[in-house]
Structure 1
Amino acid sequence: MRQLTIVIPALNAAASLPETFAALEPAIACGLVSHWVLADGGSSDQTLHFARSRGFDIVRSLPGRGVQLAAGAARAIEGMDEDDWLLFLHADTRLEAGWARAVKAFMTAHAGADRAGYFRFALDDDSPAARRLERFVAARCAILRLPYGDQGLLIRAGFYRALGGYGRMRLFEDVDLVRRIGSRRLVPVSARAITSAQRFREEGYMRRSAANLVLLARYFLGADPETLARAYQARRRRRSDLASAASHTEKDSAP
């Protein structure tokens, strides 16, 4: 069995990273996962403390998911065999129980091939809105073969190298790489990647999904990814400011 290296980009992910890592521990214990890399974008919380305690190989990077993924991958593939595998995960995404069996089967079925795998999208929310979004993502993947980074990416090291790896982009680095992989070389993995729904709950499922689709449409129409990243970050700041203002209002009105 070929070895598997996990690469996780993180920025102030202390709240979610322990659960993400806990899902990996059985695969580490059985020897499937041989190396785990954290690409940190400048965390100021306990992310690095936790990562050190769990034996992560830590890479420091400028912030930006594409920049961090590229830096983490560069560290991970040092000395890797062409037919070993990389698995990229977000820090707020955990793989469901039994994922290692599905990944082993995928690696065996596609040994030496130019193939990449992605997991089924799921959210840690039991609401009808979460189920609707999961169905939408399943349809997007089935029709367009367009998984996002929160579905993970399992790819042979040699294939990743040949593609040129992740672009150092702050937004849509996942879409950029998936488009270079090509729909015929993308294969679903029979396990779920369960992502935190916190941002959807905070912003609203419909509002967040619509805003993301607008950004994606602009990207496909040729907009500069850096311009889109600035728009995305401005949206996040506005949401954070509104949440902070609401919190202060609640405190001021408390008896």
Structure 2
Amino acid sequence: MLSVIVPVRDEALVLPQLLADLAPLRAAGAELILVDGGSRDATCALARGHVDQLIRSVAGRARQMNAGAASARGDYLWFVHADTRIDAAAVRSLLGALARRPLWGRFDVRLSGRGLALRLIGTMISLRSRLTGVASGDQGIFVARAVFERLGGYADIPLMEDLELCRRLKRLSRPRCLRPALLTSSRRWERHGIWRTVLLMWRLRLAYYCGASPEQLARAYHRGPRP
């Protein structure tokens, strides 16, 4: 019924934790698909024996997720980032929601780091998503495979592919918003500075909604916040 699709590239440090989180779900019959975009570390070696399909793909999160979806057998697709942690309560929430056959949905999110600022950011991301009906990839977007295929999957763009898909999905229905929250890594915020990263994210979103090209935004994103 469920195919879990994880796009990866050089994620050996965090992938074993996610695979352990997903092992009970896989044992219960879910399909786990890892889509590698050219890892040069031990990512693929660590995944062997713990996934149902290990797919090689051209790098790019949208392309990798589309490749995984094309090979999936489940009625539902669940897109999960490698640096996400998933507890048993989140899995129960997902399976309960899928039993009611939603078109699509996502989870609330919280950041892994300590401190009030990171807790506040996670809360605001979840609240913004509930108000707008738009989710980021860190929020574990799930979607009926038939709907995903009818919409043509993720747009082949280097950034904002999650927002672009959500905008199309919203025309069909509001998302099913699930708790408890998924735990996602705060490494980018901690590496580049919490508030500088927040400002960068908002600036990129605003530019995207104003018509800036995803290619231009991707270059700014990978440069990171300016000091």
Category of TM-score, reference length = shorter chain: over 0.9
Which of 207, 212, 221 lines up with 2:210 in the alignment? 221
**Aligned letter for 2:88?**
A
In structure 2, list runs of 5 or more residues that go unmatched: none
Residue number in structure 1 paired with 2:85 = 94
Q: Which amino acid aligns with 2:62?
A: G
Question: What amino acid is aligned across from residue 115 of structure 2 in structure 1?
Answer: S
Distance in 2, matches of 1:90 and 1:59, equals: 15
Larger radius of gyration: 1
Counterpart residue number, 2:60: 64
Corresponding position of 2:114: 126
Q: Name the Cα RMSD after superposition.
A: 1.7
Aligned counterpart, 2:97: 106
Q: Report the secondary structure of 2:124's partner residue.
A: helix
Structure 2 CA distance for aligned equivalents of residues 124 and 194 of structure 1? 6
After superposition, the C-alpha distances for 1:60-89 in whole angstroms (9 at most, x for unaligned) are 112111121111111225xx5xxx111100
Q: Does 1:53 align with 2:49?
A: yes
* 3-state SS, counterpart of residue 98 of structure 1: helix
Paired with 1:139 and 1:188, the residues of 2 have a C-alpha distance of: 10
User: Is 2:197–2:224's contact at 8 Å kept on the other side of the alignment?
Assistant: no
Give the structure-2-normalised TM-score.
0.93
What one-letter code is carried by the residue in structure 2 that aligns with 1:224? Answer: S
Contact (CA 8 Å) 1:95, 1:191: kept in 2 or not? no
Identity of aligned residues (%): 34
Q: What is the SS of the residue equivalent to 1:109?
A: coil
Which residue, out of 5, 8, 25, partners 2:6?
A: 8
Instruction: Determine the C-alpha separation between the residues in 2 that align with 1:186 and 1:55.
Output: 28
CA distance in 2, matches of 1:215, 1:138: 18
- Cα deviation for residue 138 of structure 1 reads 2.1
Conserved 8 A contact 1:42-1:62: yes
SS at match of 2:99: helix
Give yes or no for contact 1:93–1:196 (8 Å, CA) kept in 2.
Answer: yes
Partner of 1:250: none
The runs of at least 4 consecutive aligned structure 1 residues that moved more than 6 Å come to none
**Aligned letter for 2:155?**
G
Contact kept, 8 Å, 2:111 with 2:183, in 1: the verdict is yes
Aligned to 1:242: none
Counterpart Cα distance in 2 of 1:95 and 1:211:
27
Deviations 1:32-85 (A, max 9, x none): x1x2111111000000101113134122112111121111111225xx5xxx11
CA distance in 2, matches of 1:165, 1:223: 21
Ranges in structure 1 where 5+ consecutive residues have no aligned partner: 240-255
User: How many residues end up aligned between the 2 structures?
Assistant: 226
Question: SS of 1:23's equivalent?
Answer: helix
Alpha-carbon distance in structure 1 between the residues aligned to 2:25 and 2:180: 14
Alignment partner, residue 231 of structure 1 = 220
